[in-house]
Chains A and B, each alone.
Chain A
Amino acid sequence: IQLEMPPAPSAAAGSCALSLGSRFLFGCRVTAAHRFAASPVQPPSPLHQQPHLQPCRQGRRWLRPELRGVYKPRLSPEAMKEFWRLSGIGPDHSRAKAADQQAEVPPEIKRLYQEALPPIVSQDYRDPIVESLHRAEMMRRRRVINIPEFHVGSILAVSVMDKHAPNKVNRFVGLCILRRHTGLFTTFTLRNMVDQVCVQIEYELYSPSIVSIQLLKLERRLDDNLLYLMDAPHSHCTIPFDMVPEPYSRNDPVPVNRERVRLNPPPWMCKWHLHGYQGIDLEHLYSYLSDKDVAKAIEFSKAYKRYDLLDQYLNRVPVPDADYAFKDIFIQHQELLQHQQQQQQSSKKSEVISKLTGTA
């Protein structure tokens, strides 16, 4: 390669065209004239004519990629859009849309088996065999007891074995304010007023000491948890123990209770204005706060999180893993239905036999 002398500096900066060899002089100790004679970058020539390694010791050894001419092929907008659609994260993906992507499994499975999803932890702590064991044991437990579909905001009646109780069974009715963990570790918390005292009891969903879980009212709230009821008037969580169960249909969508709770005046147990709760009357809440706190709360509630990719990546179950878990559960759910049918038939048979033997 022959190094050509750069052209003489001209008055109009940017008008002189650089020759091929003058690129090599950028890294060398060039005079100010050559630097100011730099023109806009020319279109790149083929790589074999333009090595990216410069023959100099001081200064820039490797040319920048845009000068080297190494242009990576760009994806077309359609290909990029497909990539973002398949990834499951991004501003176009909301939780509801991610759930709809798993269209092969009926939606009632996702409602019934919310705890079948794998836990949201780092990949080092997840194991497919252990997760499949959790799912299998969950379905085995559901052969013994019927666990209804419930959400945070539903009213449940739970009967637990208690050797000190008169009938050996302790029944508690309450509003479900929290539902956490996954698999066999799933727990839910019921809240109610008992003799003017607020009581919150956390139950393990798959504990064998639970005799029955009865759904009294199927409902959903605007939030994932209702912990703010601890600082709300007691009327919001007073549920009569003799409440009659309300009928519901599995095919209908879960009714959403959009009531907004007015909290008691501070001090509170927690800074409720900083967690993005939708079920609190925000105007009433902000009336208790200073301007600084209100600004902080409003800043928090801005909908920027849908653009926070790392937040979505870290705090959501990957779509293929969720898909696999629900498919696995769906197969076992069908086996469970068969098992229940067989049990009904055998119980009918035993009834008939006992009637015959009784009369005979």
Chain B
Amino acid sequence: MATAPHTWLRLVPSCRSYSKATRLHKIDYPWKDEPKPHWVRQFEARRVDADLTPENRDWLRQWRLQRVRDAVASSSEAAAAASPLKEPPAARPLWTPRVSQRCGLVGIKLGILPMWYRNGQKVHTTVVQIPDQRVLRWVPPEDLGNYASLREMRPYRLNQSFLPRWLTQQRWGLQLVGAVPADPANFTAQWCGIFKAAGLPPMRKISRFLVSPDASLQPGACLGLHHFRVGDCVDVVARTVNRGFQGVMERHLMEGGPAAHGSTKFHRKMGSAAGGGGPIYRGKRMPGVMGNRFRAARSLPVLRVNTKHRLLFIKGFTPGPPHSYCQIMDSWMLDVRRSLDANPPPMPTYFAEDAPEGGYPEDVYHPDLLPYDQPLELPD
């Protein structure tokens, strides 16, 4: 019988009084944002082929990279479409309203490009590049309790007063996706072993997505640019810009003190930390490192797709500095989900058979967006 984690994890009740301060569940703890898998060391700075000449070392490196390229090319959607051993396509799942949640994509945020709508309004678009990525693993909801990252939970997690709903409800499973294949010599054998089971070359980034079982993908499946269509609303989750150690005025928008009028050494301080001689409660807002947390920008429409550089132009601004990873997934907002019921996206992901006749042009624009080589025509 599958055991849910909240049954075998003994949640130790807090010894302190169950006051409002301890129940503040909007408090962010730094350990909440650990990249997973944190129990596997990723990079290894070993001196590979140190006893060879530099020329031979370079040749071997190129040979390794070529093997990676071949592995990536053989598992791509183009290869699947061109394969002579075409198996009959497996039955693709249908989009089920209020049930289906597709996998997402790993992206690299590049920068910002301004564009204009056809009514003359300006819109800033975030340019996100979709690198090579493949599906690594599927963890069904029943096995979430046995999944390693939850099993090796740190002791302080046990004192939390609640567990996230995706863990307790078990509607969705975990889809592991690997992105950006790289030279195996950069990584440890343990890290490469994660990809061996799926028959994939090692990759720099592993992300997890919460996916419903009907939209699950098997290891080795290819995720491409056209997984999202122009007009789809997405959620972009990324680590925010690290602003370093900041005081309370910057970090928590506290008032501080007066600049003049006899204020003695009280200009940017916190002031009182607790009331009535009581202890400082857990989660008290204090100076510390600001940023570098996972945040989600919700319900951003995809306005343009560039097939040459594999770019998505997403309206608005996303968290994180340029050249940082981000997770892009179908929006969890209810109005977007209802609109997807009427216009279901490719399930479980985009395949070559979904392409329109003649392929995609280099740039696909949203109908409301004005390309730069067209003049603006305002209606009278």
A113-152 CB mask vs B (1 if < 8 Å, else 0) is 0000000000011110110011001101101110000000
Q: Which of B116, B309, B321 contacts A129 (CB 8 A)?
A: B309
B contact residues around A125 at 8 Å (CB): 111, 321-322
Contacts of A145 in B (CB 8 A): 375
Q: Which residues of A contact B110 (CB under 8 A)?
A: 127, 129-130
Contact of A124 among B116, B321, B378 (CB under 8 A): B321
Q: How far is the CB of B126 from chain A (nearest CB, A)?
A: 10
Could you say which residues of chain B place their CB within 8 Å of the CB of A161?
A: 120, 376, 378
Would A127 and B372 count as touching, CB distance under 8 A?
Answer: no
Chain A positions within 8 Å of B372 at CB level: 137-138, 140-141, 144, 206, 208
B152 at the interface (CB under 8 A from A): no
Docked complex: A7-44 residues within 8 A CB-CB of B = none
Smallest beta-carbon distance B109→chain A, Å: 9
User: Which one of A124, A129, A130, A140 contacts B373 once the chains associate, using CB atoms below 8 Å?
Assistant: A140
The docked-state distance in angstroms from the alpha carbon of A168 to that of B378 is 9
Q: Which residues of B contact A168 (CB under 8 A)?
A: 378, 380
- Complexed CA–CA distance, A127 and B371 (Å): 22
Q: Please tell me if A268 contacts chain B, counting CB pairs below 8 Å.
A: no
C-alpha spacing A145/B311, complex, angstroms: 27
With A and B bound together, what is the CA distance between A152 and B323 in angstroms? 35
Within 8 A of A (CB), among B303-350: 309, 311, 321-323
If A134-B113, A137-B113, A140-B372 touch, does A129 touch B378 (CB 8 Å cutoff)?
Answer: no
With A130-B127, A133-B127: A144-B374 Cβ-Cβ less than 8 Å: yes
A141–B373 touching, CB < 8 Å: yes
Closest to B379 in A: A163
By a CB distance below 8 angstroms, the chain B residues around A133 are 113, 127
Give the chain A neighbours of B373 by CB distance below 8 A.
140-141, 143-144
Tell me, yes or no, whether B207 is within 8 Å of chain A by CB.
no
In whole Å, how far is B103's beta carbon from the nearest beta carbon of chain A?
Answer: 25
B371 contact set on A, CB distance < 8 A: 140
Residue B370 is within 8 A (CB to CB) of chain A in the complex? yes
CA distance A143 to B371 in the complex (A): 12
Q: Does A207 contact B (CB under 8 A)?
A: yes
Q: How far is the CB of A293 from chain B (nearest CB, A)?
A: 24
B113 and A130 contact, CB distance less than 8 A: yes
Size class of the A contact interface (CB-based, 8 Å): 20 to 34
Q: Are B321 and A208 in contact (CB under 8 A)?
A: no
CB-CB under 8 A for A163 and B378, given A124-B323, A140-B371: yes
Assembled-state Cα–Cα distance A126/B321 (Å) = 10
Given contacts A127-B323, A144-B373, contact A184 B380 (CB under 8 A): no
B6 within 8 A of A: no
Establish whether residues B322 and A124, one from each chain, have CB atoms under 8 Å apart when the complex forms: yes
- A209 lies within 8 A of chain B by Cβ: yes
A288 at the interface (CB under 8 A from B): no
Q: Are B111 and A127 in contact (CB under 8 A)?
A: yes
CB-defined contacts of B122 to chain A, threshold 8 Å? 204, 207
Chain A residues lying within 8 Å of B111, measured Cβ to Cβ, are 125, 127, 130
**1/0 per residue B361-379: CB within 8 Å of A?**
0000000001111111010
**CB of B100 within 8 A of chain A?**
no
The smallest beta-carbon distance between A5 and chain B, in angstroms, is: 46
Interface check A185, CB cutoff 8 A: yes
Q: Which of B279-324 contact A (CB under 8 A)?
A: 309, 311, 321-323
B120 surroundings in chain A (CB, below 8 A): 161, 208-209
A68 to B22, CA, bound (A): 63
- State how many angstroms separate the Cβ of A240 from the closest Cβ of chain B: 29
A133 to B363, CA, bound (A): 12
Asked whether B129 is an interface residue with its Cβ less than 8 Å from the other chain, the reply is yes
In the complex, the answer to whether A144 meets B375 with C-beta atoms within 8 Å is yes
| Residues B311 and A208 in contact, CB atoms below 8 Å apart | no
Is A208 in contact with B370, judged by CB distance below 8 angstroms? Answer: yes
User: Is B114 interfacial (CB 8 A cutoff)?
Assistant: yes
- Would A129 and B113 be within 8 Å (CB), given that A140-B372, A140-B373, A168-B380 are in contact? no
Contact with A along B37-71 (1 / 0, CB 8 A): 00000000000000000000000000000000000
B321 in contact with A209 (CB, 8 Å)? no
Contact present for B322 and A209 (CB under 8 Å): no
Task: Give the complex CA separation of A42 and B245 in angstroms.
Answer: 51
Bound-state CA distance A163–B378 (Å) is: 8
B113, A207: Cβ atoms closer than 8 Å = no
Known: A124-B321, A133-B127, A208-B120. A184 touches B375 (CB 8 A): no
Quick one: closest B residue to A204, CB to CB? B122
Q: Which residue on chain A has the smallest CB distance to residue B121?
A: A209
Given A124-B323, A141-B373, do A184 and B113 touch, yes or no (CB 8 Å)? yes
**A134 — which chain B residues lie within 8 A by C-beta?**
113
Q: Complex: how many Å from CA A138 to CA B372?
A: 8
Tell me the minimal C-beta distance from A204 to chain B in angstroms: 8
Contact residues of A between 312 and 340, Cβ < 8 Å to B: none
Query: Which partner residue on chain B sits nearest A162 by CB separation?
Result: B378
- Nearest chain B CB to A195's CB is how many angstroms away? 27
Chain A residue nearest in CB terms to B370:
A208
Point out the residues of chain B lying under 8 angstroms from A204, CB to CB: 122
From B116, B374, B378, contact of A207 by CB (8 A): B116
Once the chains bind, are B127 and A129 in contact (CB under 8 Å)? yes
- Listed by A's residue number, 27 A-B pairs whose Cβ atoms lie within 8 Å are A124-B322, A127-B322, A127-B323, A129-B309, A130-B110, A130-B111, A133-B113, A133-B127, A134-B113, A140-B371, A140-B373, A141-B372, A144-B373, A144-B374, A144-B375, A145-B375, A163-B378, A163-B380, A184-B113, A185-B114, A204-B122, A207-B122, A208-B375, A208-B376, A209-B116, A209-B120, A209-B376
13 additional A-B pairs beyond A144-B372, A161-B378, A168-B378, beta carbons within 8 Å, are A129-B110, A129-B309, A130-B112, A130-B127, A143-B373, A144-B373, A163-B378, A185-B114, A204-B122, A208-B120, A208-B370, A208-B372, A208-B375
Top 5 nearest A-B pairs (CB, nearest first) are A130-B111, A208-B376, A140-B372, A140-B373, A141-B372
